[in-house]
Structure 1
Amino acid sequence: MRDEFRSLPEPPTGATNELAKERNRAAAERTLMSWVQNCLSLIGFGIAFDRIFNAIDQTFPNNDRILNTTLTALIGLSAIAAGVILLILAIISYLQQIQGLGQANFPYQTPHSRSLLTLIATSIMLFGTIAIVAILIRLATQ
C-alpha cells in the first residue's frame, strides 16, 4: 500500500539541463531584443509622422491645417502608444519566461500573451494601412 504514495522522482540536474536552460534564456533575450527594436521603430515612426505631414503642408499650402494637425497628432500618438504598449507586453512575457526557467522543475507552459501579441500586431498592420490610405486620400484631394 505504501508503494502507491511514493514521491515523484527528483528532476535530473546536470550539465545538459543547465545548458538547455541557458539556451532558453538566450532565446528569450533575443526575442525581447527583437521586440524592442520593432517597438522603437514604431515609436520613431510616430515621432516622424509629424514631419511627414509638415512636408506635405509645405508642398500643398491649400490644405486644411486644422484637419492636418488633428490627423497628424492622432496617427502619431497612436503609433507611439502602440509601440509603448507592445514594449510593456514584451517585457512582461520575457519576465514570465525567465521566472519559469528559474523554477526547479521547469514546466512547459504555453505563453498566455501570444494571442494578445498577435492581436496587437494585427492592429498595428491595420493602423499602418489606415495611415497610408489617409496620406493617399490627402494627396489625392489636393
Structure 2
Amino acid sequence: MEIHIKRMGSRGEPLPLPTYATDGSAGLDLRADEAVTLEPGERKLVPTGIAVAIPPGFEGQVRPRSGLALKRGVTTLNAPGTIDADYRGECGVILINHGREPVHLPRGERIAQLVIARFERVQLREVDALDDTARGAGGFGHTGQS
C-alpha cells in the first residue's frame, strides 16, 4: 500500500520522513517538528510537520514510543489517537510528561509511532435485548484476576 505524505510549513531544515526502524516494525516513527519542553504533568500538542492521505477503510493510529515512556516518562495522552482517512491537516501528537523532572525534546526527536490499520464501518440497530454470553454483564475485574 502507498500512502501519500506532504511536508507542511517550514520550521527549519526538512526532517526525515517517517520510517520503520526495523523490518519487523509495525509503526512508522513520527518526529517532533519543533523543540518542546514538558514540565512534570504538562501536556502539549507537538507538530510533526507532515500531513498524510490515508485511504478510505483505513486509519492512522498514533501510539506511544515505549523507550520514551520508560526512560523519560513521556507518552501520548490519547493512545491510540486516530488520524481519519478524510483528514488532510498537519498531524500532531499530544504528549504528556508523567515523570518528576522536566523533559526537553529537541526538534527531530522521535516522539510517537504511526500504525496504519484497516477498520470496518458498521450500522447500529437498536434492540430490546442482547444475546446471552458466558461473561454477560461482568465488567472491570470480573474474573478476579489482576
Give the TM-score category using the shorter length.
under 0.3
Higher helix share: 1
What TM-score results when the alignment is normalised by the length of structure 2?
Answer: 0.18
What TM-score results when the alignment is normalised by the length of structure 1?
Answer: 0.19
Q: Which has more radius of gyration?
A: 1
Higher strand share: 2
